[in-house]
């Protein structure tokens, strides 16, 4: 067993201090493991959401749900792809609208803010622009640091999407 030494007197440390150091190190290791596991889970969630946004992921989701037979499969894929395209167009339009609204808000706020507030707002908006929206085809995000996104809804809270 490793003996912990008191550096000033070169004697074995008291059991209370030794126990405290061991508990503290264990706590730090636990926190590090927790952060790493959280990062892994968030990456997994993000990647699965990105796959679901792709045309093939969208098809797979609904085919897994519907379970079409071989006679239905081709026709169902065509219908699903048509609606994927429509939803993707809506998403792109909305992202552009959000950008315009944020720019308008920024212009209107500038006249009401002092220099410090304006600088903080500019810095935050610049930070937000570093994380571009997902690409139009629903593939992986161009910036690997882009890992944000809403948490998935619990199974019972899903509502149908009106078309």
pLDDT along the chain (163 residues), means of 10: 51 80 95 93 81 83 89 92 90 87 90 92 84 56 48 48 47
DSSP secondary structure string for all residues of 60-102: HHHHHHH---HHHHHHHHHHHHHHHHHHHHHHHHHHHHHHHHH
Residue 8 in tokens:
């000033």
Instruction: Give the model confidence (pLDDT) of 44-67 as tens digits.
Output: 887 777 777 788 888 888 888 899
| Predicted TM-score of the model (pTM) | 0.46
Instruction: Give the model confidence (pLDDT) of 75-91 as tens digits.
Output: 999 999 999 989 988 98
């Amino acid at each position: 067993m490793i003996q912990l030494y008191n550096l000033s007197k070169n004697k074995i440390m008291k059991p209370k201090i030794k126990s405290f150091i061991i508990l503290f190190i264990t706590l730090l290791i636990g926190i590090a493991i927790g952060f790493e596991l959280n990062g892994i889970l968030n990456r997994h969630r993000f990647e699965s959401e990105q796959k679901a946004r792709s045309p093939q992921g969208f098809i797979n989701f609904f085919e897994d749900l519907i379970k079409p037979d071989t006679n239905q499969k081709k026709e169902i894929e065509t219908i699903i792809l048509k609606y994927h395209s429509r939803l993707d167009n809506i998403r792109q339009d909305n992202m552009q609208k959000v950008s315009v609204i944020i720019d308008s808000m920024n212009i209107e706020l500038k006249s009401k803010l002092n220099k410090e507030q304006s600088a903080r707002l500019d810095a935050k908006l610049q930070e937000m622009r570093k994380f571009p929206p997902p690409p139009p085809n629903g593939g992986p995000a161009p910036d690997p640091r882009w890992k944000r996104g809403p948490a998935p809804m619990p199974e019972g809270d899903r509502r149908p999407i009106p078309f």
